[in-house]
Structure 1
Amino acid sequence: MKNKTMHKTLLALLLTTAITGCSDPELPLAKPLNAEASQMAQIPFLQQGEFAVVTHRDLVVPESQNQRELELSVFYPKQGQNHPLIFFSHGNWSSKDKYDNVINYWVSHGYVVIAPNHLDCCSQVTGIVNSLRYGNFGLIENRVKDFSYLIDHYSELEQLLPALKGKGDINHIALAGHSFGAFTAQQFGGAGTLNTDDKSYHFYSDPRVKAIVALSPPGPMFDEITAQSWQKLSTPTFNTTGTWDLDKYFFTDWQMHKMAFDSAQPSNNYVLVTQGADHYLGNLICRPEREAAPQKDALMMLNATSTAFLAAYLKQDEQAKTFLQNGRLKDLTAGFSTVEYR
């Protein structure tokens, strides 16, 4: 059965390569951010936080009996102790070090972030080779194993990096990710993955995870992520997307990225939608090498609202929660960004 999965994966990759000459989908009109300074000042967490950011990019967790070697980047505030923990999952073929524009913002507001490289990281070649080796389901499952191991063995990370000791609070955890990594994060909140070998959904929900931040999560993808994947997602979740968040291969309608919001359990479930925001915010996350204009206003909205969500669910900030739920962002930004809640 593994060979069958590998062949299907290879076929999908070949088909993707074959259609590279297809034209990009037509982008809808998108209004720019046009708001008064007095209105913008009413958006919480709109400015960089007070904490200085300390970064370590060379931490290696040794291979063990149950876990492969893991390369990590670790980010934490220079000041203070017992900050909530965020475990961050990169997008397919991307890496742990291409999301600084988001991660540093969270850390500046008082969070510790742990970001590993997954098996599909770092290049198209590596991603394809490991897709053929493990299959789609295998890559998805290994991503979950990476984070389960890191949460289980967090105290060992403190031993590997003594400066980290006492910085993070293991009792207040969020899972976050972008694209393929957003689905990884959602799995810890109850999203299911279809194993095409045994024809059943597999679930990895973890009650230790109190919040999910899913940046541009996928809609149905390959055979393993389906329209039914989010029906048991119940952990408080903040999804993001934009009206240019589409491509010619998988998601020709940006609203497919909203499927997790639309179909999950109505339990503290949010989605940020921003005018003209694409999958990479131009070149600000995941693909900094893209020849695309940076979408700085979209990043500002994502950073502010995701930080408000984290404050609401990891720091019990009721004012932040009220802001996310009352719909004021749409009025304050003249429709540039909206937060829906259900």
Structure 2
Amino acid sequence: MKTLKRLSLAVVILLSGSWGLYVLMFKPEPVVLAEARPMPADADISSLYGLEQGPHAVAVIPEMTLTTPDGPLMLTAFYPESAGSFPLLLFSHGNFSDRRAYDRIIDHWVSHGYVVLAPDHLDAGGMLNGILAMTRYGQDGVMKQRPRDLVNILDGLDQLAAQSAQLDRRIDRSRVAATGHSFGAFTAQMLGGADAAVPGADSRLRDFDARIQAVVAISPPGPMFDMIDEQSWQNMTVPQLVTTGTWDVEARFFRDWRLHAMSYERGAKGLNNLLVTEGADHYFGNLICRLEREAEPQEQALLMANAVSLAFLDAQLKDNLQAREFLASNTLSTATGGFAQLSQR
């Protein structure tokens, strides 16, 4: 069985061309992580906005199938069990991950009164499936389809309503945000106006959707794939929150964590928020995206991301004054002893 897996992997490497060879064969020098400031043992963070789980129990529809112009799309729906109408969040997973690898973030949002719809993109299901998708559709094909999946969900809400009246009753279609992690963070940003170069062409990939009112980008990429470049965020026209950490590095692509903050720096002034957490890596240890990692879970860093992202969403989609004041204040840095810091520009 192991021999078969190795053979299959070798075939995929050969078929996937230079990108697959680079990802799977190239072994760069490891990044030396800078010392990270821990949260003080006596830090009192109990009063931070949105830190605790919310009042709503979380209901999950594990599998829904949406018929779209691009083919069937599998997704999971999360919604509050409580009666009411709640803002809608679209969630895009990271490269080679899947829609159920982010429950630790999604459940927090839903418990505070949000509906989340999370699809599996073409590259879902692990590295092997992801590279096969890249081989079949090309990097630009996968990148183009990802935001289309989110748009197809918005266009297909009536179809989902026919599958679940409980879900439909809880979606407020007038309040919508795009969210995501890593490659999925850029997917979300594309719906807010970000774009990507197409190798060998003068055109750029764009999929702006006017229904999107805010973007949460968890560890978004900097320049990558010869497609995401320094110009990719200059046309974003919706408010966004970018999150990263001082250990958010990857030896092949992002040797400096600050590259993940490029979309914050390059986006239009007045619309950008940035959370930086000391010692937070791309996966909060093993809490999101790659749950199989043998890494120490970064529970405190995830708490920061959950609290700040909730405050941002409440400010943008619920017009919550307390949330806006929290984002604009120095409360987070003071309470955590500099462990987590918020910036706005």
TM-score by length of 1: 0.94
Give me the whole-angstrom Cα distance separating, in 2, the residues matched to 1:143 and 1:17. Answer: 23
User: Is the 8 Å Cα contact of residues 90 and 181 (structure 1) preserved in structure 2?
Assistant: yes
The number of residues matched between the two structures is: 333
Gaps of 5+ in 1: 1-5
| Percent of paired sites with the same residue | 42
Equivalent residue number for residue 15 of structure 1: 22
**What residue identity is the alignment partner of 1:34?**
P
Gaps of 5+ in 2: 1-12
Cα shift at 1:158: 1.1
- Name the stretch that deviates more: 306-315 or 129-138: 129-138
Give me the whole-angstrom Cα distance separating, in 1, the residues matched to 2:275 and 2:14. Answer: 37
Equivalent residue number for residue 60 of structure 1: 65
Answering whether residue 52 of structure 2 is matched by residue 47 of structure 1, we say: yes
**What residue identity is the alignment partner of 1:141?**
K
User: Is the 8 Å Cα contact of residues 15 and 135 (structure 2) preserved in structure 1?
Assistant: no
Cα shift at 1:197: 3.7
Answering whether residue 216 of structure 2 is matched by residue 209 of structure 1, we say: no
Equivalent residue number for residue 323 of structure 2: 320
Deviation string, structure 1 residues 39-88 (Cα, Å, up to 9, x no partner): 412311110000000011121123x4x12111111000000221000000
Cα shift at 1:121: 0.3
Equivalent residue number for residue 268 of structure 2: 265
Cα shift at 1:266: 1.1
User: Is the 8 Å Cα contact of residues 246 and 253 (structure 1) preserved in structure 2?
Assistant: yes
User: Is the 8 Å Cα contact of residues 86 and 173 (structure 1) preserved in structure 2?
Assistant: yes
Answering whether residue 30 of structure 2 is matched by residue 24 of structure 1, we say: yes
Equivalent residue number for residue 175 of structure 2: 172
Equivalent residue number for residue 77 of structure 1: 80
Give me the whole-angstrom Cα distance separating, in 1, the residues matched to 2:127 and 2:35. Answer: 32
Deviation string, structure 1 residues 119-147 (Cα, Å, up to 9, x no partner): 00011111111101111111111011111
Give me the whole-angstrom Cα distance separating, in 1, the residues matched to 2:91 and 2:20. Answer: 26
Equivalent residue number for residue 3 of structure 1: none
Give the SS at the match of 2:117.
strand
**What residue identity is the alignment partner of 2:61?**
H
CA RMSD for the aligned pairs? 1.6
Give the SS at the match of 2:65.
strand
Give the SS at the match of 1:239.
strand
Equivalent residue number for residue 163 of structure 1: 166
Answering whether residue 256 of structure 2 is matched by residue 250 of structure 1, we say: no
- Name the stretch that deviates more: 226-235 or 254-263: 226-235
Give me the whole-angstrom Cα distance separating, in 2, the residues matched to 1:168 and 1:96. Answer: 19
Answering whether residue 192 of structure 2 is matched by residue 186 of structure 1, we say: no
TM-score by length of 2: 0.93
User: Is the 8 Å Cα contact of residues 89 and 176 (structure 1) preserved in structure 2?
Assistant: yes
Give the SS at the match of 2:213.
strand
Cα shift at 1:8: 11
User: Is the 8 Å Cα contact of residues 14 and 21 (structure 2) preserved in structure 1?
Assistant: no
Deviation string, structure 1 residues 104-126 (Cα, Å, up to 9, x no partner): 00000000000000000011111
Equivalent residue number for residue 311 of structure 1: 314
User: Is the 8 Å Cα contact of residues 87 and 317 (structure 2) preserved in structure 1?
Assistant: yes
Equivalent residue number for residue 92 of structure 1: 95
